[in-house]
Structure 1
Amino acid sequence: MQTDSHTDDFIFLGIFFLIIGIIYIAPSIVAFRRNHPNRWIILVINVVFGSTILGWGIAMVWAMRAAHRVGDMSSGGESGLNLFVNDVKKIQVVDPPPLPATSPVQELERLHDLLVRGAISQVEFDGLKAKLLGAAPSC
């Protein structure tokens, strides 16, 4: 009867450690089953830091997080969490459109409007008006 007891203990311990192992690597299983773009990083975090509850939780949350992919050929950088792949977006830098040329009369009207609305004081208005009229070409 003694050997049956030891065999039962080994079977129980084997099943117990198997269940604990599956729970331990659950974040990696989820990441690979979902074909998460960061599955290898999640696996490393899971294996290295999974023994801490915090590391296991981070890996599980990351594995469960939606990975936004644009098209079929995505590298996974759209999720914002990929550490190794940056999405390259080509942009073209263009000069801003030129400001419309205004006449001194239009500028005086604009300054007067600012004075009436209370955006500038009378002293500021007088200073800006003098600057504008001093810079205006004399006709």
Structure 2
Amino acid sequence: MQTDSHTDDFIFLVIFFLAIGIIYIAPTLVAFRRNHPNRWIIMVINIAFGGTIIGWGVAMVWAMRVAHRIGSTSSGGESGLNLFINDVKKIQLVDPPPLPQTSTVQELERIHDLLVRGAISQVEFDGLKAKLLGGASSQ
């Protein structure tokens, strides 16, 4: 009878330590399952500092955090050390190309079309037409 008690205790201890081990490496499992770009660093932090509540919590929060990889098919680069994946990239703003110049006739047709569609009133049409023809005569 005593051997059954030792066997039961041994099975309980194995299951207990297995459950504790899975909980201990949960941040690493989450990071690898989500294919996180910093999964190797998360694993090192989890193993080295997971025994502390803070180290385990940091690793778990980092593993659960979303990393935006727009249009990337990479799984974290060659080294897996993409610490700055979410950093803002500096870009240079350039002026747009100039709009093509339209002739007076084209502008008159455009504002007449606006008048026909009811987008502008007759008074607005006359004002735009006068401004356009006044500007065209000075050119």
With structure 1 as the length reference, what TM-score do the two structures score?
Answer: 0.56
Identity within the alignment, %: 83
Q: Which amino acid aligns with 1:11?
A: I
Query: Counterpart in 1 of 2:37?
Result: 37
Cα 1:29–1:71 change in 2 (3 A) is same
Counterpart Cα distance in 1 of 2:86 and 2:57: 25
Query: Counterpart in 1 of 2:52?
Result: 52
Q: Which amino acid aligns with 2:53?
A: I
Q: Which has the higher contact order (CA 8 A, sep 6+)?
A: 2
Query: Counterpart in 2 of 1:10?
Result: 10
Deviations 1:55-95 (A, max 9, x none): 00000000000011111234659xxx9338798x6866x9x
Q: Is the 8 A contact 1:68 1:76 kept in 2?
A: no
Number of aligned residue pairs: 91
User: In the alignment, does 2:23 pair up with 1:23?
Assistant: yes
Query: Counterpart in 1 of 2:61?
Result: 61
Counterpart Cα distance in 1 of 2:66 and 2:83: 16
Counterpart Cα distance in 1 of 2:38 and 2:15: 30
**Aligned-pair distance for 1:25?**
0.2
Q: CA RMSD in A?
A: 3.1
Counterpart Cα distance in 2 of 1:32 and 1:73: 16
Counterpart Cα distance in 2 of 1:17 and 1:54: 21
Q: Which runs of 5+ in 1 are unaligned?
A: 95-139
Counterpart Cα distance in 2 of 1:63 and 1:90: 27
Counterpart Cα distance in 2 of 1:86 and 1:64: 15
Aligned ranges for residues 1-139 of structure 1 at < 5 Å?
1-74=1-74, 76=76, 82-83=82-83
Q: Is the 8 A contact 1:49 1:56 kept in 2?
A: yes
Q: Which amino acid aligns with 1:14?
A: V
Q: Which amino acid aligns with 2:33?
A: R
Cα 1:75–1:35 change in 2 (3 A) is closer
Q: Which runs of 5+ in 2 are unaligned?
A: 95-139
Counterpart Cα distance in 1 of 2:4 and 2:55: 39
